[in-house]
Amino acid sequence: MNEIIHKKPIVFRSNVEKKSKYSDYRDDLRVDFWYSCAYCSMTEDEACGIGFEIDHYLPQNFHPALSNDYNNLMWSCQKCNSLKRDYNPNDSDTEKGLMIIRPDNENPSYHFKLNYNKLEGKTITGEFNIVYLALNRMQLQKLGMIRKKFYESSEYIKQGIKSIASIKIDRIDKKNRFLFEKMKKHIIERQKILEDPESVSSILKVFGKSELIDSDPEKRKQLKSRKNYLKQQRAITVPKL
């Protein structure tokens, strides 16, 4: 059973055409990674739209040839990216399983199980990732609690929808039947959405996204006018943003 999960990645990369620099892949990565961190799974929205970056799975310092290779780029929250740093396992590390899990290669749930709000490693790789990326940090434990409540309530809502959809019309008072039929039709449409994995995927993508970190079309213009303004003010050096 575990073998089957192991082989099923949860991130599928789109066929993206070659771009001149790695930062140009930003929006492709956001979509392909469900607007979520590749390592801790926090969504942009859960992170309140701050602190997401492009990570080089194999670090640029050791693998410069892969610097602009889409398959080597991951969408990561700032915290995971700073903890991962330039981790570059050698053959012996890889053999021992001391490698960072990539969700476009395998399913992380093969390596982890959830015990209340804490992750536990099911494999050496799982244990290594929990420690190396601090996957039981307080922020992620709290996030786990919020998600749990959300999933429990969505199950509750699904049950409610099912029971309303199964009510027979002759049990409804005659004067309310028209209204009931209308409501039932609406509810059944919603039920179809909840049961269709494709629809659920697109809903999840919408919920994970934070518009706060969408590319800023004005950025280049703003940087230029900032630089000019600071030069005019005789600032000796222009601090980087």
| Binding stretches for Zn ion (CB under 5 A) | 37, 39-40, 77, 80
CB 53 → Zn ion: shortest distance, Å? 10
Of residues 77 and 100, the one with the C-beta less far from Zn ion: 77
Question: Between 37 and 100, whose beta carbon lies closer to Zn ion?
Answer: 37
**DSSP 8-state code for residue 23:** G
Question: What are 156's strand-pairing partners?
Answer: none
Taking the complex as a whole, the smallest distance from the CB of residue 79 to Zn ion amounts, in Å, to 6
Beta bridge partners of 53: 76
Compute the least distance from the CB of residue 68 to Zn ion, in Å. Answer: 23
CB of 75 to Zn ion, least distance (A): 9
When the beta carbons of 4 and 138 are compared against Zn ion, the nearer one is 138
> Which CB atom, from 87 or from 180, has the smaller least distance to Zn ion?
87
Identify which of residues 47 and 58 has a Cβ nearer to Zn ion in the complex.
Answer: 47
Shortest distance (Å) from residue 66 CB to Zn ion: 21
